[in-house]
Amino acid sequence: EKAQIGVTGLAVMGRNLARNFARHGHTVAVHNRSYGRTKELVEEFGSEGKFIPAETAEEFVASLERPRRVIIMVKAGGPTDAVIDEFAPLLEEGDMLIDAGNAHYLDTRRREAALKERGLHFVGTGVSGGEEGALHGPSIMPGGSPESYEALGPLLEDISAKVDGEPCCVHVGPDGAGHFVKMVHNGIEYADMQLIAEAYDLLRQVGGHSPAEIADVFRGWNEGRLGSYLIEITAEVLKQVDAETGKPFVDIVVDQAEQKGTGRWTVQAALDLGVPVSGIAESVFARALSGGPDVRAAAKDAALPGPSASSGAHGGDLQADVEQALFASKIVAYAQGFQQIQAASKEYDWAIDPGAMAKIWRDGCIIRAKFLDFIKQAYDKQPELATLLVDSYFLDAVSGAQDAWRRVVATAAQQGIPAPGFASALAYYDGLRAERLPAALIQGQRDFFGAHTYRRVDKDGSFHTLWAAEGRPETEA
C-alpha cells in the first residue's frame, strides 16, 4: 500500500501533522534527516494509524502514491531550500512539495516559479495553531496553483479545524498568497497580544488590581464580544503562580518580548505596499523597545522623569473603559491587516477573498475569535469593502467605544503608562475620520524645498508655486 501523503521534518509540528493525517485514516509516509525521530514517531504513535517510515529520501518518495504530496516541515530559509534541493530531483511531473513552515512569501514566490519550470507544484502553506493545532486541527492557508489544491485540498481540509462542519482551510490564491496571509495572521497576532498586554498593564497600574484579579476580568471578557483564544490563555497566564517563589508568574518573567520575525515581515511588506498597519507596527516596535536592555538601562540611569503626581485619575469605570478601548483597537488592527491582504492581492493578482480568510481563522489558529464571524459577514455583504471600519457592525462598535477609548488613552498619557497600541489605533481612527488632514501642509513643504508640486482642491493638474525665498532661485515646474 502506498501513502497518500508524506511528511519530512519530524520535529513537533511535523510529527503532529503526520499524526493528524494518520488519525484521519490516511496512510502517511514519514521521513526525517536523522532516522531516530522517524523511528520514535512510529514506536510511540504507530497505533494511531498507518505510517510508512522511510530511512532515505528515495524510500520516502517511492512509498507515495502519485501525484506525490510531500509536506516539508523544517526551519524557514536555508533548511527549506536544502530539503527542496534534495527532493525535487526525485519527484516527477505533477508532484507537489508543500512548505508548511512560516516561510517568507517572497521566498515562496521564488521557489514556486523555479519548481514550476521543472513541472512540479510548490505549495506554500500557512499552518496556524501551534503544536496542539497541528495535532487536533489547525487553520490551514495553502497557496500554490489551483490544480495542486484539487489534489491536496481535500486532505488538508480533512485534518483542519472545523466550524459548524466547515473546514478552516481554503485555497488562498496562487504562489505566495498562502504564506502572505499566514504572515499577516501573525502580524495581527502580535497586535492582539500587545493590546491585551496594554489592557493588563492599565488594569494593574491604574486600577491597582493583582494579576489574579485581572485573570478574572479576562475570564469575564472571554464570555463577551472579546471571546478568543488569546484572551482565554491570557487569563491562564495571569492566574499562574510561580512554584518557586509563590509570586505571580508574570512578575518573575524578564520583561523583554522576543520574536521570530513574522510580525516584522508583515510591517516590512506593508511599508512596500504603502498600507498603514500602525497597530501591527506598534506591536513589533513595542517588542523591540522591551528587548533593548541597553537603551532601557540608560533611560533608567538618567531617571527620565514621569508625570507630576497631580496628573489625573481615570474619570470613568476603568474596567469597562479598557474593554471598550481593547475592542476598538482590535477592530483597527484587523481592519489594517485585512487592508494589507487586499492590497497584496491586487499587487500580485492573487484574487484573495478576504471573507474566506476570516472564515478559516474562526478556529484552529492563534487569533481564533468570535469576532471573526462578523468580519466574514462584513465581506460577505460587501466583498469590496474599503475598510472594516465602515461596516455597520464595526462602525457601531467603534462609535460606541470611542468615548471610553479616548478616556483610556488620556489616562495612559497622563499617568505615563505606555499604551502605543491603544493610542496609535485611536490616532488612525481619527486620521480616517478627519475632514482635512495636515498632509496639505506637507505637500506645501515638499513643493517649497523640492519643487515636488501639489494638486489643488479646485482644479485638475499639478502645480508649483514660485516660492520667493530670499537667496533662493525661483523655479517653475
182 flagged as catalytic: yes
If one asks whether residue 262 binds ligand 6PG (CB under 6 A), the answer comes out as yes
**186 contributes a contact to ligand 6PG by CB under 6 A:** yes
For position 329 contacting ligand 6PG by CB under 6 A, the verdict is no
Q: Which residue, judged by CB position, is nearest to ligand 6PG in the bound state?
A: 128
Decide: is 260 part of the binding site for ligand 6PG (CB under 6 A): yes
Q: How far apart are CA 76 and CA 100, in angstroms?
A: 9
| Structural element, H or E, at residue 419 | none
Judged by CB under 6 A, does residue 365 bind ligand 6PG?
A: yes
Residue tagged active-site, from 112, 157, 182, 323: 182
CA distance 166 to 248: 40
Residue number, 260 or 446, with CB nearest to ligand 6PG: 260
Q: 278 and 307 in contact (C-beta within 8 Å)? A: no
Residues whose CB falls within 8 Å of the CB of residue 123, separated by 6 or more in sequence, listed in order? 96, 97, 98, 99, 142, 143, 144, 145, 148, 149, 152, 178
Comparison of 193 and 404: residue with beta carbon closer to ligand 6PG: 193
128 binds ligand 6PG (CB under 6 A): yes
Given the residues 157, 189, 282, 323, select the one marked as catalytic. 189
Strand order in the sheet with 5-8: 51-53, 28-31, 5-8, 69-72, 96-99, 121-128, 139-142
Single-letter residue type at 36: G
Q: What is the pairing mode between strands 69-72 and 96-99?
A: parallel
Q: Has 300 been annotated as catalytic?
A: no
Q: How far is the CB of 374 from ligand 6PG (least distance, A)?
A: 21
Q: How far is the CB of 258 from ligand 6PG (least distance, A)?
A: 6
Determine the Cα–Cα distance for residues 118 and 350; give it in Å rounded to an integer: 22
Nearer to ligand 6PG, 67 or 142 (CB): 142
- Report the nearest approach of ligand 6PG to the CB of residue 265 (Å): 10
Distance of CA 445 to the CA centre of its chain: 36
Beta carbon nearer to ligand 6PG, 262 or 424: 262
CA–CA separation, 54 vs 378, rounded Å?
Answer: 47
Choices 256-264, 295-303, 374-382, 384-392; region in contact with ligand 6PG by CB under 6 A: 256-264
Query: HSE of 351 in the Cβ direction (CA atoms, 13 Å)?
Result: 7
Q: Does 234 bind ligand 6PG (CB under 6 A)?
A: no
SS3 58: helix
In whole angstroms, give the CA distance from residue 283 to residue 266: 11
CB of 126 to ligand 6PG, least distance (A): 8
Determine if 72 is a binding residue for ligand 6PG (CB under 6 A): no
Strand partners, 462: 455
- Residue 290 is a binding residue for ligand 6PG (CB under 6 A): no
Under the criterion CB under 6 A, does residue 222 sit at the interface with ligand 6PG?
no
The span from the CA of 195 to the CA of 416, in Å, is: 17
| Candidate list 145, 205, 259, 387; residue touching ligand 6PG; CB under 6 A | 259
Is the dihedral angle over the CA atoms 11, 13, 17, 23 positive or is it negative?
positive
Q: Is 129 in the site for ligand 6PG (CB under 6 A)?
A: yes
State how far the Cα of 134 lies from the Cα of 160, in Å rounded to an integer: 8
Task: Provide, rounded to whole angstroms, the least separation between the CB of residue 270 and ligand 6PG.
Answer: 16
Binding mask 187-206 toward ligand 6PG (x if CB under 6 A, else -) reads --x-----------------
Q: Does 130 bind ligand 6PG (CB under 6 A)?
A: yes
For the bound state, the minimum distance from the C-beta of residue 250 to ligand 6PG, rounded and expressed in Å, comes to 17
CB of 256 to ligand 6PG, least distance (A): 12
Quick one: 366 or 425, whose CB is closer to ligand 6PG?
A: 366
Q: C-alpha 65: how far from its chain's center?
A: 34
Residue type, 219: R
- Which residues of the chain form contacts with ligand 6PG (CB under 6 A)? 102, 128-130, 186, 189, 259-260, 262-263, 365-366
Residues with a catalytic annotation lie at: 182, 189
